[in-house]
Every structure is written in structure tokens, then in C-alpha cells.
Structure 1
Amino acid sequence: MDDSHYIASGAERDVYQHPDDPAKLLKVMRNIENAPTRFTFRDISTKLFPSARLRLIRKEYDEYLRIRLFNPAHDVRLPITHLYGVVSTTRGLACVTERVSGPDGSVAETMRTMLNKGTFTQVELDLFNGFVDQMHSFGIRAGDLKPHNLVFGYRDNGYECVLVDGFGDIHFLPVRSIGRWANALGLNDSFKIVAKRTGLRWDRKKRRFHLAASD
């Protein structure tokens, strides 16, 4: 794996195209030893408690395993990316994950990117509302459900909205893990944050988003 396989960087990991499988990505934990520390809670806590970064990954895999054990069918349609374990690479230990592709074969664009470009339409809104239904139906816990972690692209099921990062109860007090009712409250809080950051309108009672200009 080399620089030609690099795609993007997230908060904690660098993302690469799998060199041998076009349907998979490799997420490698970024080396932060020599990185400058910003005065943010995330950066300071990471410096003081390095194991916290590993906890986020463990929580992600724990959540994926929990959901898969309750939904073992090979063709189950999950609103989150499939995880395939970890492998050693020349860039470090990597998490192997499913790749969601855009219409031109490139990596799917995030909700944030589409909103900024003005390409987020009623089609994406309907898919996003379907995503909301699935998150509640499967009872998926998502501690970092943000516009930059949501993508719109193609998998085996066609064009859909997928959460590619940020699932799992990552909070210090795992309240969302108490039960489905607690997770439903947590999801509502997350969707309110999405609405605030995107300009979409969130209807809590109907569990539906609306375009800002709609009546």
C-alpha cells in the first residue's frame, strides 16, 4: 500500500483504497506522536489518554458484531458499512471496511459535500429518511452521527444513504446501551444535530426530515 491508494483522512484514521479488492477500503490509525496539539477536547484527551482512540474502534466493531449477530442473513441490508476485521499493512494496522461508490466509480460523496455543492435533492432526502427508519428498526447505536460520516452511493442494493463511520455507543457513560428506548432518544438528539448542521428540518414526532424550503 502506498500514496497512490490514499483517499482521505478522518478525525482519527487515514483512508486508503484496498490494493487488491475494489469493493473494500482500509482505515489506518493516524500517527499523532509528532502532530501539533490543538486546544480542543479531542486533541487534549487523545494526548492524555492514547487508549481512548482504540476504544472508539472497539466500540465500532462491538456495535457491528451486535447488529450482525441479531441479523445473520447474508443479504441483510444495513444502513452502516460492513466491517471485515483488521489486517497488517505497510502503513500500520488497518480496519477493513466496505466501500460505497459514487455514480462514476469514485468513493461516494458525503452529505456535507453534497449540501455544499447543491447536489442534495429530494432523492437524497427520501433516502435519508429511509436511513432514519432503518437506524430505528435495527436499533443501531451511533455516537457520532454527523453529515461528514453519511454518504450517498452505491452498494449491492443500489443507491442509498450509508453511515460509514461513527456507529457504536462511544460516550463515556454508555446511556444508549441501556435499551432501545434510550437509544431512540439518543438517535433523536443526533438527528437534531444533523438538522442544525445542515439546514434541514427535523420532525421528531414523525421521524422525518424536510428540505428547509418545504412547507
Structure 2
Amino acid sequence: MKKYILLCLFAPLLFIACSDDDYVYPNVLTEMIDLVTDNTGTATYLKSDEGVIWSIQPRAGLDGLTPDSVYRTVTMYAPVNTSQPSSLEAILYNTQIAISPIPKAKDTFKEIHTDPVAIQSIWRSGDYLNLIALAMVKDRTHEFHFIDNGITHNEDGTKTLNLTLYHNRHDDVEGFNRKVYLSVPLRTYADVLQKGDKIIFTLNTYKEGMTSRSFTY
């Protein structure tokens, strides 16, 4: 059984990358994608949000991970075999872990922090709600999480999941922008929500203040 790795620290770990700064990448894809390890802790394949599976070509630096686990990542990879859908392969060049904790109920937080970020993009794909945010930082650790504010029942019989972005900047100085990749794992709600239900994601932004985005489950 695969275990999902869910990290909620700021500065996601860059754990696989090419060492040559002058290397020129071929045509590559860069996307939020699941990276899956085998029972030895070696990255073995990528699974896209559309369900496409790419076997990772062996190379140095793919081991030392948690065995039988799924990492939510932002990955740069190059497809090398696309002619046979049953045996797709890819070369992995760069992988960064995304922040992807399971949402927690509001009353489980000691304090609620909703410090602002800027939205670069936000979208729903597969089993995730994804956000690329820009946080103003200098030298302190920022914490991110997702707050589950419960499910409301609508008059038309549908349900709405209410989520809020938790962001504690720990009084950091707003020195410069740093990109933060976040993914809400929606698989947690597979037994509760059904097609046609709604997701309301609320966050504090520099431009709009507290604002919400709506998505269909």
C-alpha cells in the first residue's frame, strides 16, 4: 500500500536535480505530478493527474526516499518513449516537493494564521486543488497548511467543502517574493463528496484581502 508523503514546511526540499548548471535541457514537461517509490525507496514512476504513468529511467540520485510512498511534486521530465502507451518512459531532471498536507479541522489549530500571499495560479486537476503562491519572505520559516471549515449542504442537494489556506509568516520581514507550490489532496473526501459538489477555497491575498475561489468537485 502506497503512503502519501505530506510536507507542510516552507521552502520545499529540492531532492533530485542535475548538478551541471550549464546543462541545456531538451524539450521537457514541468508540472505538478505524483512521484512514486518502490519498496527500496527508489523513485520508479511518475503519475499525472490525468492518470498517465511514466516509468523513470534509472539514474543516480533516485534512491534514499521513503519506501512504497507517493510524493506530491513539481517535476521537470522529458518523455523518451511515447509510441507505446503501455510502456511510457521519461528522464527525470528536477523534482521539488510540493506542500500537500491533509486538511485539518479548524478547532485542531492552536491559533489560526492567514497571512497574505499573492496568487500566481490556482486550479483543480485530478485528486488535487493546486496553488502556486508568492510569499514575501526574508529569513524566517513560514508555515503552510489547509484548514477544513466543514461541509455545508446546499438547497439543490449538493454539498460544499469549505477550505482556508493557513499561512503563518512568524513576523518575517517582507523582503522578496518566493514561489510556493501547494496541493490540497482531495482524495480524503472521496467518501463524502460526489461529482457536482463544490469546493470553496479561501485565502488572504495582498491584492484582494480575504478572497475565495470556487471549484467543482
TM-score range, shorter chain: under 0.3
More strand by share: 2
More helix by share: 1
